[in-house]
Amino acid sequence: MPAAKELQKDAMMTHLLSALENGKDIGHYGRLVFVLGARHFMSTEELTKWLTKDKDCDEEKARKLIAQVEQRNYNPPRRETVIEWMQRQGFPICLNPDDPDACNLYKSFEFPHEIYEHIGDYREQKAQPGLYTDRSREWRTERVSGSGP
């Protein structure tokens, strides 16, 4: 899987790939982080194949998570969000949370230009109270039916 090689540029994604390859349960938030980052490098079919290596994620659960992320066009999570989510589950998504450069997908990858534009627009509009009402791309800990920590 050539996309997996691209993801190995980031230590956290390498850790998640390795855990999945070994059939480990990476938890709801681990799967979510994986999809939010990897969907820009992998097809839906590749994502599904990787997610279903997780012993707690069957094909239906994987496809629902991927569909929700794609339908709402969520951005990859910020480092702070990864750390927060990791604290809500047992599996360590970020192996070195004390390192300020660790678990920062924006440091490791070049994402499509639209992601950076959306982040800038969101921050600008959020600074002006009452202006920003479209929060559809900001991930909330809403659960896809049948998934969750």
Q: What count of Cα atoms within 13 Å lies in the side-chain half-sphere of residue 17?
A: 19
- Taking alpha carbons only, the member of 128, 137, 140 closest to residue 72 is 137
Residue 72: the pLDDT is 87
Per run of 10 residues, the mean pLDDT along the chain (length 149 residues) is 78 95 97 94 95 97 96 88 95 93 78 55 51 46 46
Residue 127: the pLDDT is 53
Q: Which helix (H) or strand (E) holds 50?
A: helix 44-51
Residue 13: the pLDDT is 92
Q: Are 26 and 54 in contact (CB under 8 A)?
A: yes
- Taking alpha carbons only, the member of 132, 89, 145, 115 closest to residue 36 is 115
pTM of the complete model beyond 0.85: no
